[in-house]
Structure 1
Amino acid sequence: MSNNTSVVGGQISKRNINDKVIIVQILVGIFLCINSMLIATFFTKKIFYTNMRYILFVTTLFSDCVYLIISNLLLILTYFAIPIQTWPCLFFCLLSSLCNYVTSLTLTAMSLERYVAICMPLRHAELCSTARALQGVLIIHSLSFIPYTVIFFMLLSSVTFSFFTQHIICSVESLILHRWQGHVRSAISQFYFLIMCILIAFSYVQIIKVAKAASGNNKESTRKGLRTVILHAFQLFLYLIHLWTPFIEAAILEINVNVFISVKYINYILFILAPRCLSPLIYGLRDEAFLLELKHWLFSFTPLLCQVPGCR
């Protein structure tokens, strides 16, 4: 792969800043601003940071922010063919992959929380307490470390120290040196996503059963929970498609490097930015209590802005 990387570095033509680069930076900037406002809102009221539902929500916001920053950096480095040393590349790839798993596992946990709230309301306070939420976040991060800890040690076992001093065009594909490593990575990812899909489908089916038997206000609450689980399932579906994009990109990389970069750009928009813009929608803008506090938090800046000379 080191030989391939050197060839790649020689094949990629110099690129200038164009509309594609500007569009991505604008979108990333917008999402980071929205997520930052939602994170700030989370800490404004005790009801938010003592509620499992919102604790899991802010966990996805943090991981999405870190992932967007790192993935955007890697996209820029790849687009402009800027080589970096293997060590920082490995760190960036591992951290971005960790955040990707954290978000996916947290979405699954949020669906299970909705299942408990709707199907087991009497036990919701016990099973979804603040302490349980913090334990859940710890378990989520621990599970997220496992896949790429395995890949990291596979890489260490197959290279010499000189590999980490080389300069490469940073991507996960540059760190997969043997075909079997790619197969192991794929098997672990598919196992994780299979388990997550089963859990979300289970939550969906159980909530449907309750929805059919519910009536009045309970029925409306159940329908809202059902819509939330459906949106989580759609997010996870986009993450699942993103799982296959490295294989498509790797095949295209063997044919044409410039087409590889264009495809990577399209995949970034559709399967990285798109699913992450749904999280603020699902638990931020659709949640009445959170939306109300967000508006209050934003409007609280108005008196401060009006202290600026010239403000009327």
Structure 2
Amino acid sequence: MAGNNSVNCVFFPRPVSYRVIIVEILVIIFLCINMLLIVIFVKKESFHTSARYILFFVTLLSDSVLLLVSDILFILTHFEITMPVWLCITISVVVLLYFIVTPVTLTAMTLERYVAICMPLRHGQLCSTRSTMYCILIIHVLSSGPCIIILSMFFASGSLKFYKQSMICSGDTFSLYRWQDHVRSAVYQLYFLIMGITIAYSYVQIMKVAKAASGEKKKLTQKGLKTVILHAFQLLLCLIQLWCPFIEIAVLQIDFSLILNVRYFNYIMFNIAPRCLSPLIYGLRDENIFLVLKNLMPTSSCSK
């Protein structure tokens, strides 16, 4: 526990720095992009009946919530603002849940591409609007698993006095003992291992279809392969984030002065970056969404 506290106390210096400004600019930009795509989904009724777009909408909401809440914690930690433990627990539950919702949804989106390309005749049945709603429910049930385990360990270990205290809320809130860190990491890595195997299997099966396909079918499968690869990369970034606390503690023991730079890099690369890839993967690359975006652009300059 001492290791966790020592890392937390040097997370950020008090004065506002250019690093904080850069983070806020990035978060605002990507939140605006996500909000634009969410508005497009809500207004375009044809998207409401497609499993692919519905799941994409779930990732946008999940990423937006996680970006917003984690940014609030980022600012509170920077200014060393304390809060009651119960409030920190409430906020952290949202972070714990939506940290895993996005990768689980990405896995579901990969399976949807697998069904569309490898089982086209059953795609309408397996990926109907009703089935997708059930899928979203299953995604949130599965995603709540690590959250329940982490909370159970926390409530079993913490004393009653601890819940009445005020504290600086951070990612290490639920780690009262070192073994809890290891259990949390093991649970998350098990999840990511299963998701990684699922994505790898889908990729191999789509590749087989791509080799045998020709013409328009080949273009569709090639695009599906690229999407699966991008999902795998996004999943890898999320997985690396699980190792960041252990990397930071190791760096702290080697060189105390490097910890600020390492934590800042980890936050940008493995917290913000994975949550900003969904708009790029499914937003800008998708022809239907791109056409809607194009129609929203001002045409006065083009008509002159």
Q: TM-score, normalised by structure 1?
A: 0.89
**Inter-CA distance 100–6: structure 2 relative to 1 (3 Å threshold):** closer
Rounded to whole Å, the distance in 2 between the matches of 1:7 and 1:296 is 49
- 3-state secondary structure, aligned to 1:174: coil
- Deviation of the 1:261 alpha carbon: 3.9
Is 1:242 the counterpart of 2:254 in the alignment? no
- 3-state secondary structure, aligned to 2:62: helix
Matches within 5 A, 1:105-116: 105-116=104-115
1:144 aligned partner, one-letter code:
S
Matches within 5 A, 1:261-300: 261-299=260-298
Deviations 1:148-199 (A, max 9, x none): 1111111111111211122222222232011221121111101100000000
2:272 aligned partner, one-letter code:
L
Is 1:171 the counterpart of 2:170 in the alignment? yes
In structure 2, runs of 5+ residues without a counterpart are none
Q: Which residue of 2 aligns with 1:219?
A: 218
Matches within 5 A, 1:10-25: 14-25=13-24
- Runs of 4+ aligned structure 1 residues displaced above 3 Å come to 1-9, 11-14, 250-262, 297-300
- 3-state secondary structure, aligned to 2:169: coil
**Inter-CA distance 174–255: structure 2 relative to 1 (3 Å threshold):** farther
Matches within 5 A, 1:153-192: 153-192=152-191
Identity %: 55
- Deviation of the 1:84 alpha carbon: 2.2
Matches within 5 A, 1:1-312: 1=1, 5=5, 9=9, 14-252=13-251, 259-299=258-298
State which drifts further: 241-250 or 181-190: 241-250
2:159 aligned partner, one-letter code:
T
**Inter-CA distance 60–120: structure 2 relative to 1 (3 Å threshold):** same
Contact 1:249–1:260 (Cα < 8 Å) also in 2: yes
2:283 aligned partner, one-letter code:
G
RMSD: 2.2
1:133 aligned partner, one-letter code:
T
Deviations 1:127-162 (A, max 9, x none): 000011111111001111111111111111111121
State which drifts further: 51-60 or 73-82: 73-82
**Inter-CA distance 243–139: structure 2 relative to 1 (3 Å threshold):** same
**Inter-CA distance 14–24: structure 2 relative to 1 (3 Å threshold):** closer
- 3-state secondary structure, aligned to 1:172: coil
- Deviation of the 1:40 alpha carbon: 0.3
Q: TM-score, normalised by structure 2?
A: 0.92
Deviations 1:46-80 (A, max 9, x none): 21011100000010000000000111111122223
- Deviation of the 1:14 alpha carbon: 4.9
1:192 aligned partner, one-letter code:
Y
Rounded to whole Å, the distance in 2 between the matches of 1:13 and 1:177 is 21
Contact 1:5–1:174 (Cα < 8 Å) also in 2: no
State which drifts further: 244-253 or 117-126: 244-253
- Deviation of the 1:83 alpha carbon: 2.3
Contact 1:75–1:265 (Cα < 8 Å) also in 2: no
Rounded to whole Å, the distance in 1 between the matches of 2:230 and 2:139 is 20
- Deviation of the 1:255 alpha carbon: 7.0
